[in-house]
Structure 1
Amino acid sequence: MPRLAVDFGTSNSAVAYMDGGAVRRVLLEHGEDTLPTAVFFPVGGAMQIGRAAGQALIDGVEGRYMRALKSVLGTPLFHESRLMGGRRQTLADVVTAFLKRLRDMAQDQSGLSFDAVLSGRPVRFHHDPVRDQQAEDDLRACYVAAGFTTVDFLFEPEAAALSSVGNSGDLGLIVDIGGGTSDFTVFRRGANGVEVIASHGIRLGGTDFDRALSLTTAMPELGKGTELRREMGEGRLPVPQAIYTDLATWSAIPFLYTRETERMVEDLVKFAVERPKLERLQRVIRDHLGHDVAFAVEAGKIAVNGDGPAQIDLSVVERDLSLRLTKGGLNAALAEFTDPLKMTIYETLQAAQVSPMQIGSVVLVGGSSLMRLVQDTAQEVCPTAQLSRSEAFTGVVDGLALAAG
């Protein structure tokens, strides 16, 4: 019975299967073998996924856009019923529908029937073991509801190790930085394949990078860090920070668009010391521009990680509003993540009982592994290792397909 390999990611997803001894990736959208893990519910229309979901948002279609669904696995929010797509449903229902679309596309292209699936999963969905197991149980239930009768899981960095190439006998370290988690695997290449020695992970990824950068750049332009006049008496109060944290968090943005939030922001504007900034916040909430701001921050992060300074274009909020972003500014915004990443790499090496100097190669996997911060941290811990880039977005699904076969 053929098994389908699915890399259901926080930011992107990919699907593959074995065909005549070779990995065959499913073309998911416009000839691409990866798909943004995003959905859009237009008012009165059918759910759209992937790039089509993002385009609907950009085009200003009325509806609800959702991204980073994987980060909600294992939480009570995943099972809360809400009005989406004209009916009450849960995020579990949404993930199920997304996975069913992936299965349908794989079956249509391959001509095969896939009742079994091998899915990637992070080493840790959550630090808490109970919640971590609940997240796997949630995802398993979604696969079953999507039509799979047999569901197995493999740690994502271990799958990436299976698809890596190198010299026999070498010790390697997979550094898999995804949208929501960072995972690491020490492995040895041998004549009979790859031997996994130890794996470790933390709940930290690209969406955390986006949130930190947004909180230090875009959110101050919407009033974060400003003050309010007291309704009675003298003195001033700080503007509440919770709304900015939610507005900078991909998975929380859709739930800000309520009348309750609008009323709260109206009160903030009324007593704002820097009123124009709070009026921008009001515009973002009223016109549902939270994801537009998040996309602008993400685009700036990617651009500045290249050759030079970049811009965070917030003209969707206010004409000509744009923020200059430098490498130094990016590094300062993300500085808090260096130590957790470094410590987790050391803990992975310790679990494998190998020293940093024994690692011959560091293999970077996942879109966020392309960040200079990640590369510099890995190189600092393993200074003699050769840094190599796997297929950043398909290394995991290729390894899953090999294991599934």
Structure 2
Amino acid sequence: MQGATLAVDFGTSNSAAALAHGGRVWRLPIEAGRETLPTAVFFPTGGAMRVGAAAGASLIAGDDGRYMRALKSVLGLPLLHETRLLGGKRQSLADVITAFLATVKSRAEAETGMRFDRVLSGRPVHFHSRAPEKDLQAEADLRACYEAAGFTDVAFLPEPEAAAHATQAMGDANAPALIVDIGGGTSDFSVFRGQGGSVEILANHGIRLGGTDFDQLLSLAFAMPALGLGGELRREMGAGRLPVPRAPYVDLATWAKIPFLYTAQTRRMVDEMVRLAVEPEKLARFATVLEMELGHDLAFAVEAGKIAANGAAGQGRIDMAMIEPGLSAPLLAEAMNAELSAARAALGEAAREALAMAGIAPEALGRVILVGGSSLMDFVGQEMQAVSPNAQILRSEAFTAVVDGLALAASRLA
């Protein structure tokens, strides 16, 4: 059977696929027993690419190979087309994304017994903030990956607009609403009104800021100082000292760039930093991360600490025992929120801009509907309430509202 349009939410951290018929959505279990598939791959040395939970399991097990996550963040950038030795052959990140999307397609077809030539994919309102050329290139890149994965008809819908289709009936359906979709790589906003069961989009807006950026900020502030960030190096000649370079730590704290740190050149640079360091024991930990390829383990530890600090107790800890036994850094809610205050302000400003684009006064907004995994951070709802104090703050399905809306929209295209 063929002819249906597959809805795909290709996310920075998680992806999903769904179909809809008669107003009902079926989320396809493209990951065994789960409605979402981690957007992650693992290239074992001398083996086939592993996807999703299997990729994470390989990383945890310490299998020899290369783990990659946050693939979506490189769309529109030259890095997408640079080739690396992955799985025994030279491949670009575009090739990796294509293989991931081909896996989504094949699993959806195996689950349904249908063939999918058409896809309706979500996309951020803006892949890149205030960079229209990069934005156009990013969509073109993603379209090319879908086509290379076997789809012949590719259409896109902004992710918050899709979420509006899935959540229009929440709260007072007659009140104007703001979708706030905080994902792994972008934050997107749609202002809409319900119109007799349909959606009237008044404005779409978005910025390149998301959960992976929160992780990066927290990693640099709380984890990387234990690896030497903020320290000093002695000069080879002459008096005085130099600051430890920040750039490699930024790369180590950036999900998409971690795999590209594991080079002989970087290791030599860090070895030289250890030799000249005022606190060589800290720089030696950085060297250990590179030697043992522990960057993703560290990133997951930061993410886990963030989630714990966002919990009811407000107490988290970044466990770095994989680098050195007993090594950790406390992460308390107050300190975390202080570090993320600029990000919070940026989200508030973007929400205000979306409302201004729609011609809706903040005090006239009836509903704010939060979706996306990173919308679970408490400060997101608090900031949106500050933006629109009269609005009801509602939480939809954080990880599946977008794919649900895409499926509903796709069913109307059939």
> 2:173 and 2:345 mapped to 1: Cα distance?
32
> 1:54 and 1:38 mapped to 2: Cα distance?
7
> 1:40 and 1:318 mapped to 2: Cα distance?
25
The aligned counterpart of 1:282 is 287
Q: CA deviation at 1:338?
A: 2.0
Match of 1:327 among 329, 333, 348: 333
Greater shift, 302-311 or 115-124, is seen at 302-311
Q: CA deviation at 1:20?
A: 5.3
Give the letter for the 1:12 counterpart: N
What is the SS of the residue equivalent to 2:76?
coil
Q: CA deviation at 1:325?
A: 1.1
The aligned counterpart of 1:217 is 222
Per-residue CA distance 1:183-217 (angstroms, 9 max, x = gap): 00111112141111111000000010000000000
Per-residue CA distance 1:318-349 (angstroms, 9 max, x = gap): 10111111111111221121221111111100
> 1:304 and 1:331 mapped to 2: Cα distance?
9
The aligned counterpart of 1:172 is 177
Per-residue CA distance 1:242-296 (angstroms, 9 max, x = gap): 0000000000000000000010001000011001100100000111001111000
The 5 A counterparts of 1:237-316 are 237-308=242-313, 309-316=315-322
> 1:248 and 1:361 mapped to 2: Cα distance?
35
What is the SS of the residue equivalent to 2:306?
helix
> 1:348 and 1:302 mapped to 2: Cα distance?
28
For the pair 1:37 / 2:39, whether they are aligned, the reply is yes
Q: CA deviation at 1:53?
A: 0.5
- Cα RMSD after superposing both structures: 0.9
Match of 1:22 among 4, 7, 24: 24
> 2:14 and 2:386 mapped to 1: Cα distance?
28
> 1:170 and 1:112 mapped to 2: Cα distance?
39
> 1:181 and 1:214 mapped to 2: Cα distance?
19
The aligned counterpart of 2:366 is 360
The 5 A counterparts of 1:68-87 are 68-87=70-89
> 1:270 and 1:72 mapped to 2: Cα distance?
34
What is the SS of the residue equivalent to 1:41?
strand
For the pair 1:386 / 2:392, whether they are aligned, the reply is yes
The 5 A counterparts of 1:48-87 are 48-87=50-89
CA contact (8 A) 1:168 1:191 kept: no
Length-normalised TM-score, structure 2 = 0.97
Q: CA deviation at 1:21?
A: 4.4
> 1:270 and 1:192 mapped to 2: Cα distance?
67
The aligned counterpart of 2:193 is 188
Length-normalised TM-score, structure 1 = 0.99
> 1:301 and 1:282 mapped to 2: Cα distance?
25
Q: CA deviation at 1:28?
A: 1.8
> 2:175 and 2:235 mapped to 1: Cα distance?
65
> 2:73 and 2:185 mapped to 1: Cα distance?
6
The 5 A counterparts of 1:222-241 are 222-241=227-246
Q: CA deviation at 1:168?
A: 3.4
What is the SS of the residue equivalent to 2:18?
strand
Give the letter for the 1:385 counterpart: A
Q: 1:105 to 1:344 in 2, by over 3 A?
A: same
How many percent of aligned residue pairs carry the same amino acid? Answer: 60
Q: CA deviation at 1:236?
A: 0.8
Per-residue CA distance 1:131-177 (angstroms, 9 max, x = gap): 10000000000000111000000000000000002333211110000
Q: CA deviation at 1:19?
A: 4.1
The aligned counterpart of 1:141 is 144
For the pair 1:346 / 2:345, whether they are aligned, the reply is no
In structure 1, the gaps of 5 or more residues are none
Greater shift, 289-298 or 16-25, is seen at 16-25
In structure 2, the gaps of 5 or more residues are none
Give the letter for the 1:7 counterpart: D
Q: CA deviation at 1:56?
A: 0.5
Runs of 4+ in 1 over 4 A off after TM superposition: none
Aligned length: 405
Give the letter for the 1:27 counterpart: P
The aligned counterpart of 1:113 is 115
Give the letter for the 1:134 counterpart: Q
Give the letter for the 2:153 counterpart: T
The aligned counterpart of 1:397 is 403
What is the SS of the residue equivalent to 1:218?
helix
Give the letter for the 1:195 counterpart: E
Give the letter for the 2:208 counterpart: R
> 1:397 and 1:192 mapped to 2: Cα distance?
18
Match of 1:2 among 4, 8, 18: 4
